[in-house]
Amino acid sequence: MKTYALTINLKDDPEAVRQYRYHHAHPWPEVTEALRAVGILDLRIYLLGRRLLMTLETTDAFQPEVDFPRYLTLHPQCQAWEDLMGTFQERVPEAKEGEKWAYLELIYRL
């Protein structure tokens, strides 16, 4: 099993935060099915203020650079979901060029 941690900000807008919370309390089934189909075993999103932390547990075969783009093609609702979520999100200053969600570096594990 592989694990990943990623971060992104929500826009500095209480309505964007409210909408983001609402949509994640009512995720679209096609999206959750497609995430599982590409090898994501567990996905959690945490919120502090407007900073999000997403943790993933995946199969050993999961490759983010291959499987995230593949996820978007499994059902039209997947791209629609990502487009909708993008209206609430903004990259963190630390994100690398081309990164939407920025990958966090694991520096300690007990």
Instruction: Name, in order, each residue with C-beta under 8 angstroms of 80's C-beta and a sequence gap of 6 or more.
Output: none
Reported as a single tens digit per residue, the pLDDT across 64-95 is 999 999 999 999 999 999 999 999 999 999 99
What three-state secondary structure class fits 78? helix
Q: Does domain 2-103 have CATH number 3.30.70.1090?
A: yes
Name the one residue in this structure whose structure tokens are 């099915």.
33
Q: Does the predicted TM-score (pTM) go above 0.75? A: yes
Q: Report yes or no: 72 and 79 within 8 Å, Cβ to Cβ.
A: yes
pLDDT per residue as tens digits for the range 31-67: 999 999 999 999 999 999 999 999 999 999 999 999 9
The predicted structure's pLDDT at residue 107: 96
